[in-house]
Every structure is written in C-alpha cells, then in structure tokens.
Amino acid sequence: MGPRGLINLINLSARVLRTGGRRTVYRLVVVSWLALAILLVFIRAGKIAAWLASYQERDARPLLAFVEGTIPKNSRVFGPDEYYFYAVESAGSHYLFVRAIAPNGLVSKLYESPNWRRELTSNQFLYLIWPTNRNLPRDLTLANLQLEGSFTPGREGGLACCRWLGRDSGYPPTTLYRIISAPGSDSGAVP
C-alpha cells in the first residue's frame, strides 16, 4: 500500500468515525488503528535495540588506529565505496575509489578503473584496503599486491540479547595490501 492508499484509508476511517454508524464498525476501526500504532512502536523499539546492539561494532576508532598504524601519511589508498573513506582521510592519506561512482543505471565510459601503471609512477605509496570476504578488484591479483596487515573488528559488547538484530552493521574483517606492480606488467615489483 502506497501513500495514496494510506491517505484513502485514513479518509475512510474518519468518515466511518464521523457518521457514528454501527458500534462494532466504530470499535473495529479504533482497535485497528491502535493495533497499527502498537505495531509501529514495537518496530521502532526493535530498530533502536539493533542500533544499541551494534553501537560498539560501528565505532570507527579501532579502524582509524589500524589505518594510522599501518599506512604512512600522504599515501594514496584505494578501496570500495563504503567503510573506509573517513578513517583513511582522518589518518592523513588520500582515499580513492577503485571504481567510479555513478547512479544506478548510468555507465561512465570516461573512468573504467584506475590506471595502475600511472598511479605507481607517482612518488606516493599506493595501498588497497579491502573487505577480506570480497573478491579483489578485477584488475588486481595477489601477484600485484603485498600483504601489509589485517583488521578484525571486535564483536564483544553491546546487548547480547539483541545482537542478532544488528548482525550486519559493523565494519567487516579487512585486509590491507600495498600495490607493488601494475596488472599485466612484466617488470615485477616497484620499490
């Protein structure tokens, strides 16, 4: 039911309550709206409980400490379009997306993927920060990367009885790689 259907239902309910028809219909309308209100309150309470249960998992300070401890300042860090932007930027490095961000349905032919050869010629360190359980970007393989460290967020704390409500709300286990060579290059590692 969309907004228009809800408006029609409210108008119908108001008309039934104003006309003062049968008492059973009047009670049915009132009880239905009370039941809906109670249901919506329980849904909101569940969302608040999920937020509380996942609060510690969403704490950015451990991720920021990991980034500050493993990535030199002024590095260029590539990663997905979620999770890591603020931690990398706050640590003094520059975060770049592995793929261009475009609204759904639009395709940009101007920017397919980073030019790794050109990126490696800069005087900055290049890193890839990536969720451990995801496939690497299609251009990069483990042969192009050097493992620098990994981050596993703490899952303790919060409301244990409500943990299942916020099950996918924290940072994922993360792997940090240094990009040492361009895909398809014959020259091997770059110092």
Q: Are residues 152 and 84 in the same domain?
A: yes
Question: Whole-prediction pTM value?
Answer: 0.66
Residue 164 domain-assigned (yes or no): yes
- Residues 67-87 have a mean pLDDT of 92
Please report the pLDDT score of residue 17 as a whole number: 77
Please report the pLDDT score of residue 156 as a whole number: 58
Please compute Rg for the chain using Cα positions: 26
Query: For the chain, what is the domain count?
Result: 2
Q: Are residues 41 and 76 in the same domain?
A: no
Domain boundaries, position 8: 3-53
Residue 188 domain-assigned (yes or no): no
Q: Are residues 82 and 153 in the same domain?
A: yes
Cα 94 → chain centroid: 19
Residue 38 domain-assigned (yes or no): yes
Residue with tokens 């860090």: 77
Distance CA 102, CA 79 (A): 16
Task: Work out the mean pLDDT of the chain and round it to a whole number.
Answer: 79
Q: Are residues 107 and 34 in the same domain?
A: no
Q: Are residues 13 and 88 in the same domain?
A: no
